[in-house]
Structure 1
Amino acid sequence: MTDDKTLTRIGNLLRQAEGTDNEHEAATFLQAAQRLATAASIDLAVARAHDPSGAPAGPTVRQVIIGSAGKRGLKTYVALFVAIGHANDLKVDVAHNSTFVMAYGFPGDIDATEALYSSLVVQMVAASDAYLKSGAYKQEVAAKVVTDRSGWQPRRRVEYTPLSPITARLNFQSAFAERVGARLREARDEARAEAAAADTTRSTSTEVALRGKEVEVVDYHRSQSTARGTWRGSSASAGYSEGARRAGDQAGRRARIGDQATLGGPRAAIGS
């Protein structure tokens, strides 16, 4: 189960990812960190299934500050946290202004999510800054669906306009978050498959334990959450840019974990 020794090992993997200039090595360390976090989570789930009375505490909820009110682009920061959280078995509620999230899950899973997010959000902002500074976005266009009301019946059409810096940033960061989330879910699924293959017991199946954990988190979220409605992520009203998203996706593939990550500790908001 998740303990200080395991958290230290995860932290070491994150720093190794930051310390290499080889993107394949960085990706390997990143995915190794996620697999280790998943393995620790599986151990906890199996322990709870085997002996519920003697197992550590169950799910909890923690508020995580995303940024200050009024800062543009907070939804892409939230999207990154949600993508990482889903890879670590969390349920996440989002504030109406995206300034904070409420993370529901087991403490170790929330710790791992915060650690990954703390580094990846810094990388995401730095990568999008570099993309804008390069000027590459100026060669792209934004596609936006508009309603033409000039005739007797309103018609929807796609309008293409020069790509603005803010629209470029939002598209870039949205694609970055999606790619990182996919990488982490792949690492999680690999760790789960390995654990299931190694499970030779009949009394406490890994798959049954994980399903029990999932149900426990869902039930806890339902009993504690006061959220209303569904969070829909970044609005498409600013426009869609294939070029900016492609650049963001590539940056997400190259993302490495920096030593800003502090497992189990508080994280400063970006742009607060």
Structure 2
Amino acid sequence: MTAREIVDRVRAGDLDHETALDLLTGAPAAEVDAALGAALDDQFDRLFRNGWQPAELHRAVARKGNPIQARLVAEAAAAFLRGKEPVDERWRAQIPKYQDKKENRIVRVDASLALLCELRRLPAIEILVPPPGTPDTTVHHHADRRILDRVRALLAKAEATDFPAEAESYSAKAQELITRYRIEEVTAPAVDVTPFARRIGVDHPYESEKASLLDAVARANSCRTVWSPELGFSTVFGYDADIDAVELLYTSLLVQANRAMTRDEPGRGRARVKAFRRSFLVAYAIRIGERLRRTAEREFAGHGDLLPVLRDREVQVHQAMEKVFPRTVRARGSRVDSLEGWESGRAAADEAELA
């Protein structure tokens, strides 16, 4: 068989990785490189044209732990961009940085072959950012950068302090600032603003619990999430400024949760530590959701006239979600096997900065 035929059989699922690698190592190098390169280019082209953004695909591949494959994705994203107009700046900004490195050729062929097998299993997903060469007809309304910078600064202080009460104060201030901005946005003169979606990575371990935390933060800020565990991300639906705030808060609260969890976890027994961490994160997500909703309700308390507008926005967000995901399944809640972890998670959520 030629190198092209070997690669085609791999793409079709008719040839296993080890057998294909043995066959390719005996074929002419130039022929192998050309066949693998063309096959990978076809897969990258398919995925980039069908919803995958550079950062998402890079993350999906990089989480497997092979740096060669991660670099191949970065190279492919840069190559896909060339010669295409118009280019959405959100797409361009995601192209990962990479350095050219020389590897053992067989190691690179092995990594490329494994990557080809991985890419062929990835499905098309919803196009949220138009790929290069596609006109963008969606109007986006981003949050005021100054507001986000202030929120980011408050959350950075929350992450840096070793004093729980101080961290809580910063975090609460951040949520208040976000809610006040939402009030200003709702009361501003009408502009062409529509809900849209953004994918946010949810990393292992404890993906289910982390997805629950993201959902709790999203719901407190009038957004909705759909978790795709097999792809390692949640899709967040909402208004652009609200999603910006959700992403900032979720990232910061996850940092704070990890710090508190490490501080409080029991020192012995792998099973006990795992049960503690899972229970901790379940309790943390529930309590954080309660606190965020309470903060938002307090800020909106004096603006009863805005309730019809807010309800209308929530209906539009829900409709946007159902359009993309007409059939969703409610995930089963995680088990709580550690009372110690549950109590520690509740306590950490009470300490967490919401600013």
TM-score by length of 2: 0.55
Structure 1 residue 214 corresponds to structure 2 residue 355 = no
Match of 1:60 among 196, 200, 224: 196
Residues 9-63 of structure 1, C-alpha deviation per residue, up to 9 Å, x if partnerless? 222322343455543333222112112111222222233xx53xxx143100111
How far apart are the structure 1 equivalents of 2:343 and 2:327?
33
Residues 183-231 of structure 1, C-alpha deviation per residue, up to 9 Å, x if partnerless? 11111111111334xxxxxxxx312211221111112222222553112
Structure 2 SS opposite 1:229: coil
Q: Determine the structure 2 residue equivalent to 1:176.
A: 284
Structure 1 SS opposite 2:301: helix
Q: Determine the structure 1 residue equivalent to 2:221.
A: 88
Unaligned runs of 5+ in 1: 139-161, 197-204, 259-272
Residues 222-265 of structure 1, C-alpha deviation per residue, up to 9 Å, x if partnerless? 2222553112232x2xx52222201111111112369xxxxxxx
Q: Which amino acid aligns with 2:299?
A: A
Structure 1 residue 255 corresponds to structure 2 residue 352 = yes
Structure 2 SS opposite 1:194: coil
Q: Which amino acid aligns with 1:39?
A: R
Structure 1 residue 223 corresponds to structure 2 residue 331 = no
Q: Which amino acid aligns with 2:186?
A: A
Q: Determine the structure 2 residue equivalent to 1:265.
A: none
Q: Determine the structure 2 residue equivalent to 1:33.
A: 174
Q: Which amino acid aligns with 1:211?
A: R
How far apart are the structure 1 equivalents of 2:341 and 2:197?
35
Structure 1 residue 164 corresponds to structure 2 residue 305 = no
Q: Determine the structure 1 residue equivalent to 2:254.
A: 121
CA RMSD of aligned residues (A): 2.5
Unaligned runs of 5+ in 2: 1-141
State whether residues 32 and 187 of structure 1, in contact with CA within 8 Å, keep that contact through their aligned partners in structure 2: no
Q: Is the alpha carbon distance of 1:257 and 1:19 closer, same or farther for their aligned partners in structure 2, counting shifts above 3 Å?
A: farther
- Higher-Rg member (1/2): 2
Higher helix share: 2
Of all paired residues, the percent bearing the same amino acid is 28
How far apart are the structure 2 equivalents of 1:15 and 1:243?
28
Structure 2 SS opposite 1:164: helix
Higher relative contact order (CA 8 A, sep 6+): 1
Q: Is the alpha carbon distance of 1:18 and 1:65 closer, same or farther for their aligned partners in structure 2, counting shifts above 3 Å?
A: closer
TM-score by length of 1: 0.70
Q: Which amino acid aligns with 2:177?
A: L
State whether residues 94 and 101 of structure 1, in contact with CA within 8 Å, keep that contact through their aligned partners in structure 2: yes
How far apart are the structure 2 equivalents of 1:23 and 1:165?
22
| Equivalent pairs, count | 214
